[in-house]
């Protein structure tokens, strides 16, 4: 090949190659490229409550240990609060043999190191990010979806229905 012919070939194919690269990068970021099977959308949430000390005295009974519950005594204005962390939804249902992707967005709590024993070894959900967990539910039963930081109660239930 002469230099002229090489130059002509580059000019001929460059637009098609650039277009293919652009499409590949778009497809790689698309949600359907990163999920398999049915997608179940979840979030980490933080229900919060509280009251004024003069209307509703601060309950002195301690909550169970771990980071799953937090109760703050009355502040300078007499307001006390209680918070916890949860999966939303707390119960998800899949069929035996079904492949699903949990797409979890971190809303509350900076980080949630988590596991679904027997199905998913470990995954981490961070605030402001999406975590996708794909698995095939091979065996019917009830599986806890456990955050190992917000113990004892940040635990959901995965129900695998038998065929
Ligand atoms: Cu957590």
Q: Which residues contact 3 (CB under 8 A, 6 or more apart)?
A: none
pLDDT band, very low/low/confident/very high, at 57 (cuts 50, 70, 90): very high
What is the per-residue pLDDT across 76-104, written as a single tens digit (0 to 9) for each?
999 999 999 999 999 999 999 999 999 99
CA of 17 to the centre of ligand 1 (A): 45
CA of 77 to the centre of ligand 1 (A): 29
pLDDT of 119 strictly over 60: yes
Which CATH code for domain 35-163?
2.60.40.420
The C-alpha atoms of residue 105 and residue 147 are separated, in whole angstroms, by 14
Q: What is the mean pLDDT of residues 123-146?
A: 97
CA of 43 to the centre of ligand 1 (A): 11
pTM of the model: 0.79
31-36-41-44 Cα dihedral, nearest 10 degrees? -90
CA of 122 to the centre of ligand 1 (A): 13
CA of 68 to the centre of ligand 1 (A): 7
- pLDDT value for 89: 98
pLDDT band, very low/low/confident/very high, at 5 (cuts 50, 70, 90): confident
């Amino acid at each position: 090949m002469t230099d002229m012919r090489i130059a002509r070939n580059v000019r001929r194919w460059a637009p098609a190659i650039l277009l293919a690269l652009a499409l590949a990068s778009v497809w790689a970021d698309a949600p359907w490229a990163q999920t398999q099977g049915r997608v179940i959308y979840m979030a980490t949430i933080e229900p919060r409550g509280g009251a004024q000390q003069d209307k509703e005295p601060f309950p002195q009974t301690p909550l169970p240990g771990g980071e799953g519950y937090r109760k703050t005594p009355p502040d300078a204005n007499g307001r006390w609060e209680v918070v916890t962390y949860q999966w939303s939804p707390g119960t998800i249902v899949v069929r035996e043999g079904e492949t699903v992707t949990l797409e979890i967005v971190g809303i509350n709590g900076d980080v949630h190191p988590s596991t679904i024993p027997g199905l998913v070894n470990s995954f981490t959900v961070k605030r402001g990010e999406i975590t996708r967990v794909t698995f095939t539910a091979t065996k019917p039963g009830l599986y806890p979806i456990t955050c190992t930081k917000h113990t004892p109660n940040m635990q959901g239930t995965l129900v695998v229905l038998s065929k």
